[in-house]
Amino acid sequence: MLTPAQAAAIATSAFVRPAVPPALLAPPSAEEPERALHRTVVQAPESDDPIEAQRRLDASSPGFATAVDLEHEPGTRPTDGLPEVIARTPGATVRSIGGLGQFGAVSLRGSSPQQVAVFLDGVPIGSSLAGLVDLGQIPLDGLARVEIYRGHVPVAFGSAAIGGAIDLVGAPAWQRRGLVLQTGGGSFGARESTVTARGPLSRSGRSAGAITVGYAGATGDFPFADDGGTPDLSGDDQTLRRTGNDYDRVAMHARLDHRAGPWRIAVQPLLSYRDQGVPGPAAAQAHHVRLSTVQARTVASVRRFEVGGPGGRLEWLAGLGLQRQRYLDPEGEVGLAIDDQRLHGLDVYVSPRLRLPLWKDAWLGLVADQRAEFVAVDERAPTVGPSGDARRSRLGVGAGIQLEQFLLHDRWLLVPVLRVDGLSSRFAAPPGGGEQDDQGTDALALGVAPRLGTRLRLWPGIELRASGGRYFRPPTLAELFGDRGYVVGNEGLRPERGHAVDGGLIVDRQRPALDVYAQLAGFATWSEDLISWVSAGAVARPVNVASARVRGLESAVALVPRHRWLTLHANYTWLDSRNGSDDPAQHGQPLPGRPRHELFARVTAGRSLRIRGLRVEPRVLYTVDVIAGTVLDTAGRLELPPRALQGAGAELHLHDRVHLLVEVRNLLDVRTATVTLPVAGARPHLLPIADFIGYPLPGRSVWASVRIELGGRVS
């Protein structure tokens, strides 16, 4: 379930939601003895090419997707910096309530955060009950790369990933051995320390293991401009420090990889404890609100290649998740009343997947999955009316089939897909339980999602791609029942349904001195019965909106010389969204919280040198992030001014063993923006920069870290 602070943030940004596609079985891990789409290939050694992960993803998907290779990602990355990594990719908008490790949610191509599914090695880690993944709580430790599907999402990722899917790919234990020590610190009390050990576990070399243990935290007490809640008066304006914005997290991420003949087995246990403040809006900062979370999750996979012939594959994926959470608001600072809520959750997932050769240049893919989720809410604070206690569960069963057909000597690929999902939600609460006016009932939902993906190679390194499909997403617990904070539920909500199309061009040209990679895609989505958050005084309530339309254009380019003395990565997304509500005040208006223009660019420069036999590589980097055209209300009256944030950093790599990193974010210390509010005579006012109304973002901050690697690659 959402905390009231998170729910308030969503309510100001996700009023209407669109749709985007999936198809293709999840691609095999790039670290396994990988099999390409239609032939057997030998796994290449670990590559120093920063575009190699992107090329592997392009080879396994007919749609538009981005692979972020974390080892080659330039610049510093705090352990809890996943939102920042994703925000640098095309079509992605990440919104935060401010500060390292705090709540962050991602939107892809104008979707809502609830429409973006998040996975770890193909196993879902986002709850379909709560409907949201807080990216600020997912550490980067133990991950090799992040794969972001915006167009043709793999069929194994279900029908509810209307906005897209994010797969966090774990770092295997095979390729490196030894010990890695890393520590860092920065502004506003940010700090971290991690230790990673990996290597073979047997003399035969068939088993390898890795474990990462780390601590991260921050005080988050950055200064911000406060207008005293009176934007039309300047006499009470002052600079305050953010309170209740701290967190501490201890996490362990282990991995076991084993080879047994043609079988590949991987097991990943994750354990974390996190204690954090819930800051509340700037006009009413919280001081005593706490949220503590204990999570234990295990993800396992068993794979066999060459099943039924070249290119065949059999997989079994499984996941087990346990969660215990306590939300304490002893003085009612954030919610509408005193709150002391305990939540216990259980999540079980199983998915067999099969890929078989059929005839010449054709393969059949089959996937099935079953997921059982249980949530128990125990409200300890005194209540008026219902107790707030509830026991909810949801059982999901899905199946998908796809055909991969190569034509014209492998130049043309067609991938028709059919996905069917059924959900049994047991949401009935006992008499006297549940939230206010809780009339939860048991319900069944069925969704059928046909789709088609295709790609055509025009010339070597130049491809046309297109996809289209239909999807559905049932309402979540927070949408149906709300909480004791800012969200009021609506038990009459219908599932969202929508369809989407996209098409464009990928250019991947490898020259002797320069690699050029570029994407250009247009997309459009239409949604029916959208679940839209609307404000109703001090609270927000979800309703079904008849329709909405989102269209846009996204582009990305990477220029990487072979010696990488200078690199450029840039992406730009243009978005045009329209509300199809029957309300005359909202009809035809842009959807709130979705920037019309979004640009990110990064330039790095450096050179490898030899100094007395020691290889030294100094590098510098510069980034710019521009967001413009974001409206914050359903009537389109309040638009944030353009925001341009710049950053700079320096790295020093010594013999591939010691890595020193320093980065300055928000280099120009941009903390305020001039906004013309549709009140008080529509005069311009100075407000803190923010992704959500009332939740300011930090100004200039510095991060520095050192990483020491003892060991090397496995031969």
Look at residue 687 in the predicted model and tell me its pLDDT.
Answer: 76
Measured between alpha carbons, how far apart are the two ends of the chain, in Å?
47
* C-alpha span between 208 and 206 (Å, rounded): 7
Query: Is the separation of the CB atoms in 511 and 525 below 8 Å?
Result: no
pLDDT of residue 676: 67
pLDDT digits (tens, 9 = 90+) for 326-379: 989 898 887 667 888 898 989 999 999 999 999 989 999 999 999 999 988 888
Residues 6+ apart with CB under 8 A from 61: 24, 27, 149, 152, 154, 453
For the segment 522-532, the average pLDDT, to the nearest whole number, is: 86
State residue 130's pLDDT score. 63
pLDDT (average), residues 526-552: 74
Residue 106 has a pLDDT of 83
- Render 518-568 in DSSP notation, one character per residue: EEEEEEEEEEEEEEEEEEETTEEEEEEEEEEEEEEEEEEEEEEETT-SEEE
pLDDT at res. 27: 42
Percent of the chain with pLDDT strictly greater than 90:
38
Please report the pLDDT score of residue 47 as a whole number: 57
Highest mean pLDDT among 72-76, 285-289, 355-359, 578-582: 355-359
Q: Is the dihedral of CA 106, 619, 701, 643 positive or negative?
A: negative
pLDDT in tens, 598-632: 999 999 999 989 888 889 999 999 999 999 888 87
Q: Which of 348, 301, 300 is nearest to 321 (CA)?
A: 348
Query: Residue 397: phi, psi to the nearest 5?
Result: -130, 130
Q: Assign 9 a pLDDT band (cuts: 50, 70, 90).
A: very low
Looking at residue 43, its pLDDT comes to 39
Which residue segments constitute the domains of the chain, with CATH numbers given? 4-713 (2.40.170.20)
What is the predicted pLDDT for the residue at 256?
94
Helix or strand holding residue 479 (H, E):
helix 477-481
Query: Alpha-carbon distance 592 to 526, whole Å?
Result: 16
Amino acid at 645: L
Report the distance separating Cα 140 and Cα 117, nearest Å: 18
Report the pLDDT value the prediction gives residue 283, as an integer from 0 to 100: 78
**Using 50, 70 and 90 to split pLDDT, how confident is the model at 581?**
confident
pLDDT (tens digit per residue) in 180-238: 999 999 999 999 999 999 989 888 889 999 999 999 999 999 998 887 766 666 677 78
pLDDT tier, 83 (very low <50, low <70, confident <90, very high otherwise):
confident
In angstroms, the CA 522 to CA 304 distance is 37
The answer on pLDDT for 8 being more than 60 is: no
Provide the mean pLDDT of the chain: 82
DSSP 3-state of 264: strand
Which token pair is 545?
């909106």
**265 exposed, middle or buried (CB, 10 Å; 0-12, 13-18, 19+)?**
middle
Which tokens sit at 539? 């609270």
pLDDT (0 to 100) of residue 482: 65
pLDDT band at 592 (very low <50, low <70, confident <90, very high): confident
Most confident of 37-46, 553-562, 683-692: 553-562
Name the amino acid, one letter, at 271.
Answer: L
Tell me the percentage of the chain whose pLDDT exceeds 70: 82
Range picked from 21-25, 35-39, 82-86 for highest mean pLDDT: 82-86
At residue 428, the pLDDT reads 73
The model carries a pTM of 0.86
Considering only residues 72 and 517, tell me which one the structure prediction assigns the higher pLDDT.
517
- Highest mean pLDDT: which of 36-40, 390-394, 419-423? 419-423
Q: pLDDT tens, 119-143?
A: 999 999 876 666 667 776 777 878 8
* Per-residue confidence (pLDDT) for residue 495, from 0 to 100: 85
Secondary structure (DSSP) of 211-237: EEEEEEEE----EEEE-TT-TT--TT-
Has residue 562 got a pLDDT over 50?
Answer: yes
| Of residues 706, 707, 701, the one with CA closest to residue 101 | 701
Report in angstroms the alpha-carbon separations of 451 from 152, 401, 405, 422.
Answer: 9, 11, 15, 18
Residue range 413-434: mean pLDDT, rounded? 82
Residue 653 neighbours by CB under 8 Å, 6+ apart = 616, 617, 618, 619, 659, 660
Average the pLDDT over 292-299 and give the result. Answer: 93
pLDDT for 266-278, tens place per residue? Answer: 999 999 999 998 8
Q: What is the mean pLDDT of residues 479-489?
A: 63
Q: Identify the band that residue 30 occupies on the pLDDT scale cut at 50, 70 and 90.
A: very low
Model confidence at 57: pLDDT above 50: yes
